[in-house]
Chain A
Amino acid sequence: MSIAWGHYNPEHLFDEQITGGQVNSTGGDHMSIAWKDYNPDQLNDELIDDQGIPRPAAQRLIEHLQSLDENELESRRKFSEVTIQEMGVSFTVYTEEGNIDRAWPFDIIPRTISEKLWNKTAAGLKQRLKALNMFISDLYGEQQIIKDGIVPEHLITQSKNFRPECIGMKPAHGVWAHICGTDLVRDSDGEFYVLEDNLRVPSGVSYMLENRAITKRVLPELFEKDNIKSVSDYPDRLFDMLVSLSPRNIKRPEIVVLTPGIYNSAYFEHAYLAQQMGTELVEGNDLVVADDDCVYMRTITGLERVDVIYRRIDDLFLDPEVFNKDSALGVPGLMRAWLAGNVALANAPGAGVADDKVVYAYVPDIIRYYLNEEPLISNVKTYLCDDPQQRQYVLDNLDKLVVKPANESGGYGMLIGPHASKAELAQFAELIKADPRNYIAQPTLNLSTAPTLVGKGCVEPRHLDLRPFILQGKEVYVTTGGLTRVAMKKGSLVVNSSQGGGSKDTWIVKEETN
């Protein structure tokens, strides 16, 4: 007899096979999650409203999760761990004992956002990046915005990320920041706010793609029923954008991804994106700038011309001839080749001038100035410590505010006032007084939460943010959703993976119209 495929029920695929038959999948006496008891204490949950009822975009998801008993849910959580290990999704944590490759921390319950809200947000993100690129072009050109008194001159003269070497350069399409990762948070009014823009070498997009791949394996039934928008076109759009930058007008320009190497915390992503785009992944010593100021890569047939470099190396390590002389990661002469217009760099050197957290405070004005439009997404209220009046307010209210240094990333060097000790508050007061220009402060928001699996059958609210990725070359593109990061510790607001954060798949869901 052949196998009776008609009786093969994929619903049961996860129990017996994955956990070795220990799970009783037929018994009805196992509890499913008690959603009644799920209590988002701040009443700002993205999936469940304050009556304990699923929001429309989350309805099918919650119904489905309710149909799974706690053992089934637990076995799926375990399956996601196995999947992550087998797919080799990892990130590197730097510690004193050396670098540790950790499995990607992942929560299987997706975060849902309605398509309507997302479309509005996406339009705002495009608007923002367009304006930021006009701003950067202006700074390295006429500096009209300073002459017109919209932003103060010290934004440039004192910025760590302004590169005088780039003055006068005119990259293709007037775009400097080609790939932008913008961090969004949702306040209790349901609106998204921009927390920061990452215009240097933003990372995380590969995890957005991998999160979806994992979820498709762990909750396959939902992709049949629910109207979840696909995220998979990102590598193609990235490739198209890079091609649009090529200085040579040829059919197949040579695109490469430049990585600092396997010991970089984001190496997984560099390799992943190169593979998805079908481009070479190179390190600095694979490239050479010849006497003709063109960039070549060393291949088995000799030197081959390179047109576009998607670089994942910080500005200061790009070219030892111009920047950090000890950098072994970069390529001597790369700036020469770029300034001569023989190679495109994405993002362009110097683009980071606009992701300074002080510049951030001016972005709404920047949008109005260049586009003559009102910003579609708002900033979080921001106090500039450089301004005497605002500084005094910050010093007087330190215990209620979040203080951030202007040029740090990864959540390092931050003060979260309400959670800080007296000593920490005093220390930050001194830091601010010593170098006011380097600090900004923001009110603590009532950050949104989403249900997160924190133990067997146990779901609790956890805070989250969202990092969509925006591409600009000839055209502008926004990812469908983005990377949702979760603070896995109860009550915590820190979502960075290097500091105990996890992540979730992000679903943009088309709500049914009935």
Chain B
Amino acid sequence: MLSKLAERLYWMARYIERVENTARLVSVYDHLLFDLPQEVGISWYNLIILNGAEPLFLDRYKNRDERNVVKFLLADDSNPSSLLSSIRALRENVRTSRDLLPQETWEIVNELYIFARDNIKQGINRSRRNQFLEQMVKRCQQINGLLNGTMSRDAASQFLSLGCNLERADMLTRLLDAGAAALLGDLDTDLNIQEVVWGNVLRSSSAHMSYRRTVRSAVRDRDVVAFLLEDPHFPRSFQFCLNQVRDASGNLPNGGEVIRCIEKSLRAPYDLSKSDALGAKFREYLNQLQLELNEVHTCLSESWFPSYERSVI
């Protein structure tokens, strides 16, 4: 398999996840608005901070309000990780690796692109945002379903798995960060609000039912975090994603380096026993996880992707 194609598939899978999880991330805050009492002001700007996009955002906007934040995350061309930019990058990667993918992939991705482009205003305006975000998630699931259901488990699908799970793990840390951030500051941390916030984090990961069945308790902050970080069976948990990356690397030639790199990241689990475990320190820890995931990315690029000059997509 061509190195360049492997790289395109890897990025294609990352962009599918980025689109889906950006939609999920925005929907957490969107739902919080419905569920929280009005006097609890939450700051949409948290979503900019936890995506590390402050400088870029402030270049474009003065006002840090909901409209600008959502516009920046969903529609902004100057934001390379906005939902629309990610869909464009996804489409370009699919367009240039069509010969490795099931035939319908291009059509479905192209439909996603056309739909998002033509309906992006619905995502920005609050009244129909929820429907728009649900569409985004559904269409991404449709793509992943097609790939899962029809691709042989050859090298190509291993690279998809690498990209999908690495991005998913990364986006999970940001989703947890979004929950933690909403509860920081002057908020009256009464139990009810915590339940609302972490309940929404769970729901936006489609983890609500699995959590109930596995943890068998009410929605409690530390239980939720523990479940999303460590559960070995839930496919969106951090641990599960890393295991997938490790397995995919093991199925590829010369995967040893990547496996060693992952095992290093797994070594220090976060201590959730203390009562203030989800404070500022937790957010630092999440940041650390993101850096380690980036190291895994660098390591796998060196193992399989060519170092010769190539056009950036």
Against B, the Cβ 8 Å flags (1 = close, 0 = not) of A270-300 are 0110110011111101100000000001111
A298 CB to closest chain B CB (Å) equals 5
Q: Is A298 a contact of B95 with CB atoms below 8 Å?
A: no
Q: How far is the CA of A397 from the CA of B114 in the complex (A)?
A: 52
Report if A85 contacts B (CB, 8 A).
Answer: yes
Q: Is B252 a contact of A300 with CB atoms below 8 Å?
A: yes
Which B residues, 257 to 313, have Cβ-Cβ distances below 8 Å to chain A?
Answer: 304, 306, 308-311
Contact of A300 among B6, B96, B111 (CB under 8 A): B6
- Chain A neighbourhood of B95, CB < 8 A: 88, 262, 271
Contact of B99 among A275, A300, A301 (CB under 8 A): A275
- Chain B neighbourhood of A280, CB < 8 A: 2, 5, 99
Which A residues, 285 to 324, have Cβ-Cβ distances below 8 Å to chain B?
Answer: 285-286, 297-301
Report if A87 contacts B (CB, 8 A).
Answer: yes
In this complex, how many residues of chain A approach chain B with their Cβ under 8 Å: the count is 23
- Chain B neighbourhood of A272, CB < 8 A: 98
Q: How far is the CA of A271 from the CA of B95 in the complex (A)?
A: 8
Q: Is B4 a contact of A283 with CB atoms below 8 Å?
A: yes
- Chain B neighbourhood of A85, CB < 8 A: 110, 114
B11 CB to closest chain A CB (Å) equals 14
Q: How far is the CA of A271 from the CA of B306 in the complex (A)?
A: 21
Report if B77 contacts A (CB, 8 A).
Answer: no
Closest chain A residue, CB of each to CB of B113: A88
Against A, the Cβ 8 Å flags (1 = close, 0 = not) of B97-129 are 011000100110011001000000000000000
- Chain B neighbourhood of A88, CB < 8 A: 95, 106-107, 110
Report if A86 contacts B (CB, 8 A).
Answer: yes
Q: How far is the CA of A282 from the CA of B308 in the complex (A)?
A: 14
Q: How far is the CA of A424 from the CA of B112 in the complex (A)?
A: 48
Q: Is A285 a contact of B111 with CB atoms below 8 Å?
A: no
- Chain A neighbourhood of B106, CB < 8 A: 87-88
Q: Is A285 a contact of B310 with CB atoms below 8 Å?
A: yes
Q: Is A286 a contact of B309 with CB atoms below 8 Å?
A: no
- Chain B neighbourhood of A285, CB < 8 A: 4, 308-310
Q: How far is the CA of A480 from the CA of B122 in the complex (A)?
A: 47
- Chain A neighbourhood of B253, CB < 8 A: 300-301
Which B residues, 210 to 224, have Cβ-Cβ distances below 8 Å to chain A?
Answer: none
In this complex, how many residues of chain B approach chain A with their Cβ under 8 Å: the count is 27
Report if B147 contacts A (CB, 8 A).
Answer: no
Report if A261 contacts B (CB, 8 A).
Answer: yes
Q: Is B99 a contact of A279 with CB atoms below 8 Å?
A: yes
Report if B231 contacts A (CB, 8 A).
Answer: no
Given A262-B96, A275-B98, A275-B99, A299 contacting B107 (CB threshold 8 A): no
Which B residues, 1 to 20, have Cβ-Cβ distances below 8 Å to chain A?
Answer: 1-6
B115 CB to closest chain A CB (Å) equals 11
Report if B155 contacts A (CB, 8 A).
Answer: yes
- Chain B neighbourhood of A298, CB < 8 A: 2-4, 306, 308
B103 CB to closest chain A CB (Å) equals 8
Closest chain B residue, CB of each to CB of A279: B99
Closest chain B residue, CB of each to CB of A261: B311
Which B residues, 73 to 109, have Cβ-Cβ distances below 8 Å to chain A?
Answer: 92, 95-96, 98-99, 103, 106-107
The residue among A87, A274, A275, A299 with the most chain B CB atoms within 10 A of its own CB is A299
Contact of B111 among A86, A283, A297, A299 (CB under 8 A): A86
The residue among B4, B253, B304, B311 with the most chain A CB atoms within 10 A of its own CB is B4
- Chain B neighbourhood of A271, CB < 8 A: 95-96, 98-99
Q: How far is the CA of A272 from the CA of B103 in the complex (A)?
A: 10
Q: How far is the CA of A301 from the CA of B253 in the complex (A)?
A: 6
Against B, the Cβ 8 Å flags (1 = close, 0 = not) of A86-120 are 11100000000000000000000000000000000
Closest chain A residue, CB of each to CB of B106: A88
- Chain B neighbourhood of A283, CB < 8 A: 4
Q: Is A300 a contact of B310 with CB atoms below 8 Å?
A: no
Q: How far is the CA of A300 from the CA of B306 in the complex (A)?
A: 8
A267 CB to closest chain B CB (Å) equals 8
Which B residues, 37 to 93, have Cβ-Cβ distances below 8 Å to chain A?
Answer: 92
Given A88-B107, A280-B99, A286-B4, A300 contacting B92 (CB threshold 8 A): no
B247 CB to closest chain A CB (Å) equals 17
Q: Is B1 a contact of A299 with CB atoms below 8 Å?
A: yes
Q: Please give me the 7 A-B residue pairs with the lowest Cβ-Cβ distance, nearest first.
A: A275-B99, A274-B99, A88-B110, A300-B304, A301-B253, A298-B3, A271-B98
**A interface, CB within 8 angstroms of B:** 85-88, 261-262, 271-272, 274-275, 278-283, 285-286, 297-301
Interface pairs (23), CB distance under 8 Å:
A86-B114, A87-B106, A88-B95, A262-B92, A262-B96, A262-B311, A271-B98, A275-B98, A275-B99, A279-B99, A280-B2, A283-B4, A285-B309, A285-B310, A286-B2, A286-B3, A286-B4, A299-B1, A300-B1, A300-B3, A300-B155, A300-B254, A300-B304
**B interface, CB within 8 angstroms of A:** 1-6, 92, 95-96, 98-99, 103, 106-107, 110-111, 114, 155, 252-254, 304, 306, 308-311
Given contacts A86-B107, A87-B107, A300-B3, 14 further A-B contacts (CB under 8 A): A85-B110, A86-B110, A87-B106, A262-B96, A262-B311, A271-B98, A275-B99, A285-B4, A285-B310, A298-B3, A298-B308, A300-B1, A300-B304, A301-B1
